[in-house]
């Protein structure tokens, strides 16, 4: 909450008039201020006069040093500052929309479409930083500031490290926010661009689910989890999240830097490909059959009655209609499984639903095959999982193969017989995404 500057003397730090305090942290206070010569509103970050800790002062000076060299639409702009004995401050552009963390606290979690929009801007900022040899080292929701135009900007460069310059932290010590720290950063090893990408994965996970990926009862326990534990799947908390987006987040959260994406630009390319959505229009239950590659049609006794269908359609997932559910394409399986089970609740078994999804594994559309694999895993169908394992070996579409691997890992005890198939895919599949999905599935089955 903003605090007015209380005394006449403290209001002025020429050429700035400090109007109100709008934030504070470990490196000082941030004020909304007026640049008097041009009557321009800016933000002024100021270090308290009584701070004498050498590391904190060095971080403040480093932030000034880094920011003055960076000019990018997704990085907060600085207008210069002063670093003298009792006066350390700098001015930067004022971002009136608060932070991404503020938005997350208000909404609980964000829609996957908005997360992609923000993620692309985050990637743009990080790609620019990394091209300049800068690693931010403290990527987190509170360090992304929002404008009124929907643009977000990365801020707080006090921990940023620049290649070929001295380290601020002592050898073997770590700096950063423990909820978002990569394993190599926790161990005090050299940070690389993939260190920021791990933090980006933590941020995207939190925006999608409303909670960080790994949290222990103590900071030490949290750090241990980041080094040793595989996070839960995003779709365990956000069922509407597309599987392709979930896989991107999972890759970002790999323990080894070699298994994460090579660059923020690569992440952005993958985020742009996550766009498919599906519309589900339920009707009266009848015998469901698969017709064609992109449509599930409900057969009726009366040919004049309307059909229930599942069609690929670009509709925002946040739309709410009385008899329609709009969901992410990759999350369609979870919704449809519940729908089908509800439709056939009068039956003693789920035979019709299982048969439907087994047939869907042969559909021409890759989106349907991927959804069928996840549905069969959720239905715990033994014969269906054998077909999913076969698809992991033979399907020509890498996205389907990755979805099959992920689904086998999600099947729990029913997926264990297929560990040899997953191990083979991890070792031999020609595409990295499939190998990573198989590796994550193996870890999940071994942990369960």
Name the band, by pLDDT with cuts 50, 70 and 90, for residue 49: low
Domain co-membership, 124 together with 201? yes
Domain co-membership, 124 together with 257? yes
Q: What range defines the domain where residue 114 resides?
A: 100-272
- Domain annotation covers residue 282: no
Domain co-membership, 119 together with 181? yes
Cα 56 from Cα 102, distance rounded (Å): 25
**E strand residue ranges, 86-189:** 88-92, 134-135, 144-146, 152-154, 161-162
Location of structure tokens 């299982």: 354
Domain co-membership, 263 together with 184? yes
Q: Residue 277 forms beta bridges with which residues?
A: 328
Name the range with the highest mean pLDDT among 20-24, 214-218, 344-348.
214-218
Whether the pLDDT of residue 244 is over 90: the answer is: yes
Q: What angle do CA 386, 299, 361 make, to 5 degrees?
A: 20
Whether the pLDDT of residue 427 is over 80: the answer is: yes
Whether the pLDDT of residue 118 is over 90: the answer is: yes
- Domain annotation covers residue 313: no
Question: Beta-carbon neighbour count of residue 52 at 10 Å?
Answer: 7
Cα 165 from Cα 188, distance rounded (Å): 17
Helical packing angle, 432-447 and 243-252, nearest 10°: 80
Tally the C-alpha atoms within 13 A of residue 227's C-alpha that lie toward its C-beta.
13
Name the band, by pLDDT with cuts 50, 70 and 90, for residue 236: very high
Domain co-membership, 16 together with 125? no
The domain boundary, picked from 68, 92, 116, lies at 92
Location of structure tokens 């639903």: 353
Per-residue pLDDT averaged across 236-259, rounded? Answer: 95
Question: Beta-carbon neighbour count of residue 141 at 10 Å?
Answer: 21
Helix (H, G, I), strand (E, B) or coil at 320: strand
Domain co-membership, 186 together with 255? yes
- As to burial, measured by CB atoms within 10 angstroms (0-12 exposed, 13-18 middle, 19+ buried), residue 255 is middle
Tally of domains within the chain: 2
Q: CATH number for the domain including 10?
A: 3.30.200.20
* Averaged pLDDT of the chain: 78
The domain boundary, picked from 205, 238, 272, lies at 272
- Structure-model confidence comparison of residues 439 and 161, the more confident one: 439
- Domain annotation covers residue 17: yes
- Domain annotation covers residue 26: yes
Across 141-145, 356-360, 392-396, 440-444, least confident range: 356-360
Domain co-membership, 128 together with 11? no
The domain boundary, picked from 45, 71, 92, lies at 92
Helix (H, G, I), strand (E, B) or coil at 107: helix
Across 40-49, 72-81, 114-123, least confident range: 40-49
pLDDT digits (tens, 9 = 90+) for 83-99: 555 667 778 888 888 89
Look at phi and psi of residue 189 and say left if phi exceeds 0, alpha if psi is from -120 to 50, else beta. Answer: beta
By DSSP bridging, strand 28-35 and strand 16-25 are antiparallel
Q: What is the pLDDT of residue 359?
A: 87
């Amino acid at each position: 909450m903003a605090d007015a500057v209380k005394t006449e003397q403290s209001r002025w730090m020429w050429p700035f008039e400090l109007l109100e305090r709008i934030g504070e942290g470990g490196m000082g206070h941030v004020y909304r201020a007026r640049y008097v010569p041009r009557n321009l509103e800016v933000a002024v970050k100021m270090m308290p006069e009584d701070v004498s800790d050498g590391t904190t002062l060095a971080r403040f000076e480093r932030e000034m040093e880094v920011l003055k060299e960076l000019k990018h639409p997704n990085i907060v702009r600085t207008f210069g500052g002063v670093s003298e004995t009792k006066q350390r401050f700098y001015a930067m552009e004022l971002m009136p929309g608060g932070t991404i963390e503020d938005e997350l606290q208000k909404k609980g979690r964000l829609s996957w479409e908005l997360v992609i929009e923000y993620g692309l801007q985050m990637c743009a900022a990080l790609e620019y930083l990394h091209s300049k040899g800068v690693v931010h080292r403290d990527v987190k929701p509170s360090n992304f500031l929002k404008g009124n135009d929907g643009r977000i900007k990365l801020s707080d460069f006090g921990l940023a490290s620049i290649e070929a310059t001295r380290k601020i932290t002592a050898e073997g010590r770590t700096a950063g926010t423990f909820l978002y720290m990569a394993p190599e950063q926790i161990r005090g090893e050299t940070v690389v661009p993939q260190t920021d990408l791990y933090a980006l994965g933590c941020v995207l996970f939190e925006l999608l689910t409303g909670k960080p990926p790994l949290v222990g009862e103590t900071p030490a326990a949290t750090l241990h989890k980041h080094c040793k534990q595989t996070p839960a799947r995003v779709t365990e908390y956000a069922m509407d999240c597309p599987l392709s987006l979930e896989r991107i987040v999972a890759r970002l959260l790999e323990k080894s830097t070699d298994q994460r994406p090579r660059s923020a630009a690569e992440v952005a390319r993958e985020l742009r490909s996550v766009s498919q959505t599906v519309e589900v229009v339920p009707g009266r239950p009848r015998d469901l059959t698969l017709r064609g590659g992109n449509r599930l049609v409900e057969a009726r006794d009366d040919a004049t009655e309307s059909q229930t269908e599942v069609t690929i359609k670009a509709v925002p997932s946040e739309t709410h209609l009385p008899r329609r559910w709009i969901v992410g394409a990759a999350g369609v399986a979870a919704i449809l499984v519940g729908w089908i089970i509800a439709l056939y609740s009068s039956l003693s078994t789920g035979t019709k639903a299982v048969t439907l999804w087994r047939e869907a594994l042969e559909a021409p559309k890759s989106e349907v095959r991927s959804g069928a694999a996840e549905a069969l895993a959720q239905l715990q169908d033994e014969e269906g999982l054998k077909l999913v394992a076969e698809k992991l070996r033979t399907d020509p579409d890498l996205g389907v193969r990755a979805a099959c691997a992920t689904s086998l890992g999600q099947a729990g005890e029913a997926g264990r017989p297929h560990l040899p198939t997953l191990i083979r895919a991890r070792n031999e599949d020609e595409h990295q995404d499939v190998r990573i999905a198989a590796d994550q599935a193996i870890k999940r089955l071994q942990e369960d």
